[in-house]
Amino acid sequence: MNTKLLEAYKKSFNTKPLKYFSSPCRINLIGEHTDYNKGLALPAAISKYIQAVVGIRSDRKISLKSLEKSKVVTVDLDNISNKPENRWGNYPLGIFATLQKRGYKLPFGLDIIFYSNVPIASGLSSSASLLDLTAFIASIMYDIPLDKKEIALLAHQSETEFNGLLCGVMDEFAIALGKKDKCILLDCKDNSFTYEDISFQDLSLVVIVSNVRRSLIASPYNKRVEECNSALKIIQKQFDVASLSDIKVSDLPMCRKLIKDDVLYKRVRHIVNENQRVRDFVKASKSGDIRSMIHLLNESHESLRDDYEVTGEYLDYIHEISLKYGAFAERMTGAGFGGSSIALIKQRDFKSFKENLTRDYINKYHIKPTIFLADICDGLSVEDIK
């Protein structure tokens, strides 16, 4: 329980604080931009959290405060729409709108205060963390029986329909279904998943946040989704495939012949190879083949840089200097366009790795990166406030 957050709630609202909620963020080991192409991903929840204290109001207003934001957002449950003046509040508000769209009656308003140590808009999915958290809050406070998978799907519906990002389900699944020390092998074709023990042997997983702020809604994210859809339409004229993830690596020469546009073909090549990399990575982990795992992680970054063109100069520079300063593997994680990356290093090298990276990155960009060891953790949680 975060007592400072509880105190902040009492200062901000007159209602009784009833419950305390917490939601992690996520990394993705491999399988990037595959989720909205109905492909494979291998994410895990990590222990940076958005926390919330929640109470019940006597009217029908949802009042939202975030210790990270100055704007307090108060909206009537009967009048929720995505408005620019709601700013960050449009994320949590979307959950209430989506539940009502699905036909649920929400009989009373809520006061909610959020605190977060998740880097915001940095590729570790603070948006999905906030959405899953709010969906979980609503399911508990309104007694709507939703399991963790349904929470993820509700949050995903909200992010796509209410917030307008044409994203896949990976972020919402990783956070809602997170399990200590496990990675989630997610197949976005049917949203099925298995928990996997991924072993890095004597290497440790590090997260590097570039601290280059970007808004995904304003980034070329939706453009990549559209490019994939255009390429799929061309392929579907000749072949019976439901998504780019139905295409095998051995089908790529056939795709090259069909797709005249070089850029579109590169997008397809990334998706097809990336799905195969996920399969190969899980297989390599099962057989203890760390060399192949390292190779696949680096290859994934190169493919996202050269074929999918989403890494950007900051993450490419981090990739370059990470390998120079002792990382065995390094790749961007999440959507890219700035954001974060992950690396595998020897734990005893962590201090010098962090110092070297920080120094070089500050020298070049005058921005301090955030670097920490990843701790894979459980997903959503709730506690009563006595």
* Interface ranges with ligand ADP (CB under 6 A): 50, 66, 68-69, 88, 91, 114, 116, 120-127, 130, 215-216, 334
Q: Which of 136, 184, 177, 143 is nearest to 158 (CA)?
A: 136
* Per CB under 5 A, 158 contacts Mg ion: no
Q: How far is CA 300 from CA 184, 271, 304, 329, in A?
A: 18, 10, 6, 10
Are 317 and 325 in contact by the 8 Å Cβ rule? The answer is no
| Residues across the chain | 386
Q: Which range in 125-133, 179-187, 304-312, 364-372 contacts Mg ion by CB under 5 A?
A: 125-133
Pairing of strands 61-66, 110-116: parallel
Helix 312-324 / helix 350-365 crossing angle, nearest 10 deg: 140
State the Cα–Cα distance between residues 96 and 343, nearest whole angstrom.
38
Min. distance of Cβ 60 from Mg ion in angstroms?
A: 29
> Starting from the edge strand earliest in sequence, which strands make up the sheet with 43-56, in order?
73-76, 61-66, 110-116, 43-56, 19-28, 381-384
Min. distance of Cβ 337 from ligand ADP in angstroms?
A: 9
Question: With CB under 5 A, what is the number of residues at the site for Mg ion?
Answer: 2
Quick one: 68 or 360, whose CB is closer to ligand ADP?
A: 68
Chosen from ligand ADP, Mg ion, none, partner binding at 97 (C-beta under 5 to 8 Å by type):
none
Chosen from Mg ion, ligand ADP, none, partner binding at 69 (C-beta under 5 to 8 Å by type):
ligand ADP
Chosen from Mg ion, ligand ADP, none, partner binding at 122 (C-beta under 5 to 8 Å by type):
ligand ADP
The one-letter amino acid code at 323 reads L
Min. distance of Cβ 241 from ligand ADP in angstroms?
A: 29
- Among all residues, which ones are annotated catalytic? 171
Min. distance of Cβ 125 from Mg ion in angstroms?
A: 5
Q: Which range in 85-93, 127-135, 219-227, 356-364 contacts Mg ion by CB under 5 A?
A: 127-135
Q: Which range in 27-35, 126-134, 174-182, 202-210 contacts Mg ion by CB under 5 A?
A: 126-134
* C-alpha torsion 266→285→196→306, nearest 10: -20
* Per CB under 5 A, 134 contacts Mg ion: no
* Per CB under 5 A, 127 contacts Mg ion: yes
Quick one: 220 or 326, whose CB is closer to ligand ADP?
A: 220
Q: Which range in 12-20, 120-128, 311-319, 322-330 contacts Mg ion by CB under 5 A?
A: 120-128
Min. distance of Cβ 165 from ligand ADP in angstroms?
A: 7
Contacts of 98 (CB under 8 A, 6+ apart): 154, 157, 158, 161, 162
Q: Which of 239, 221, 115 is nearest to 159 (CA)?
A: 221
State the Cα–Cα distance between residues 347 and 202, nearest whole angstrom.
8
Residues found near Mg ion in the complex (CB under 5 A): 125, 127
